[in-house]
Amino acid sequence: MAAYSPRLTRLIEALRRLPGVGPKSAQRMAFHLLDRDRNGADYLRNTLAEALEGIARCPTCRMFFEDGKCAYCTESRTTAGQICVVENPADLAAIESGTAYRGRYFVLMGRLSPLDGIGPEQLGLDLLGRQLAGGQVQEMIIATNPSVEGEATAYYLAEMARANGVKVTRIAHGVPMGGELEYVDSGTLSHAFTGRTLV
């Protein structure tokens, strides 16, 4: 990277913290905000400050919430007796918009990865364990991603649920709608075949 002034260098480094933003993209964003959209930069600064001040993590489901009310921990969702465990807020949003599920959630904010120092404590599994032991949860739906870490996390979660007498289900992974078998990778096809259901 070229030698820039200290403030510009810090701005570029700050923008690089965003996922998928490399040095060139961060540089382009910084130049755009400083040269062509100072009002947008000011709006971004104020909005980010408000978000950092006003958005917290729910002490029950670990999803982001504000104004002291979590939209995913309402009484109607609790009475369903289900809890869906997801890896991150984006997964929760995908399930909410793409399915009819309206039970409770638990957001791990990651997945088990001992090599990266992410264990049960970092994922809040002690909190989840207390909820499973509380007697209100009849079914835990595991909705982790089908990666190596996601599968290991799913196995750990299933053991937790069984230890508390809670029914465990796992969302299906397999051939996408409209997909052709000859183009599906072997891991996905194996998953779909193993998880086949009666018709």
All residues at 6 or more sequence positions from 81 whose CB lies less than 8 Å from its CB, including other chains: 103, 136, 137, 138, 139
**68: left (phi > 0), else alpha (psi -120 to 50), else beta?**
left
- For residue 196, pLDDT over 90 is answered with no
Residue whose entry in the numeric block shows the structure tokens 């090599």: 115
Torsion of CA 58, 60, 158, 149, to 10 degrees: 20
Instruction: State mean pLDDT over 17-45.
Output: 95
pLDDT category at 192 given cuts 50, 70, 90 is confident
- Taken in order of first residue, the domains within the chain and their CATH numbers are 6-56 (1.10.8.420), 71-171 (3.40.1360.10)
pLDDT category at 197 given cuts 50, 70, 90 is low
- Decide: 137 and 167 in contact? Cβ < 8 Å: no
**Hey, how many other C-beta atoms are within 10 angstroms of the C-beta on 139?**
15
Residue 54: Cβ-neighbour burial (10 angstroms; 0-12, 13-18, 19+): exposed
- Sheet of 167-170: strands edge to edge? 104-107, 82-86, 139-143, 167-170
What 106-115 contacts at long range (C-beta under 8 Å, 24+ apart), as own/partner pairs, is 106/61, 106/62, 106/131, 107/61, 107/62, 107/63, 108/62, 108/144, 108/153, 109/62, 111/87, 111/144, 111/145, 111/147, 111/149, 111/150, 111/152, 111/153, 112/149, 112/152, 112/153, 112/156, 113/149
Q: Which residues pair with 57 in a beta bridge?
A: 64
Which pLDDT tens digit goes with each residue over 117-129?
A: 999 999 999 999 9
Model confidence, pTM: 0.82
Instruction: State mean pLDDT over 70-77.
Output: 91
- Please tell me the predicted confidence (pLDDT) of residue 68: 85
